[in-house]
Amino acid sequence: MPVRLLIPAIGVDSKLMELGLLDDGTMEVPPTGFPAGWYTGSPTPGELGPAVIAGHVDWTGPGVFYNLHKLVAGNAVRVERADGSTAVFRVTRVEEYRKSAFPTDAVYGDIPFAGLRLITCGGSFNKRTGHYEDNIVAFAELAT
């Protein structure tokens, strides 16, 4: 089970909480700006498939993934696990998607390797709805 997330390039050092599904079938999000959360319906980071970690871009100030959009290919992402091991990933790309066109299969679908998906909000903030229009997704692959 993952317990801590470290992304030195953007200053992230966060405990991880567990996230499940809401009644409407969407993924739960952390209740505040910190910590980030691991979606328990995805693999444990380092296992085969796309592990998913979500966090807020802001809350009452910058959130845990405030600078997620600044990641670049090659940046390291470390996930410490309860057994004392650490899965080290390398970012392969960072993309911004309209929430209305979220790439569900690319984020949650089967992959033939151990991957990681980091998700937050991005784009314009819609004051009428109180939500951001886009999502930022950082894709990473297991390096060790």
pLDDT of residue 77: 98
pLDDT of residue 129: 92
For 96-119, write each residue's pLDDT tens digit.
999 999 999 999 999 999 999 999
Written as six digits, the tokens of 27 are 């993924």
pLDDT of residue 108: 96
pLDDT of residue 132: 96
Domains annotated for the chain, with CATH where assigned, are 2-142 (2.40.260.10)
pLDDT of residue 111: 98
Does residue 35 sit in helix, strand or coil?
coil
Q: Name residues of the chain where pLDDT drops below 50.
A: none
Contact 107, 41 (CB under 8 A): no
Q: DSSP state, 108? A: H
pLDDT of residue 82: 97
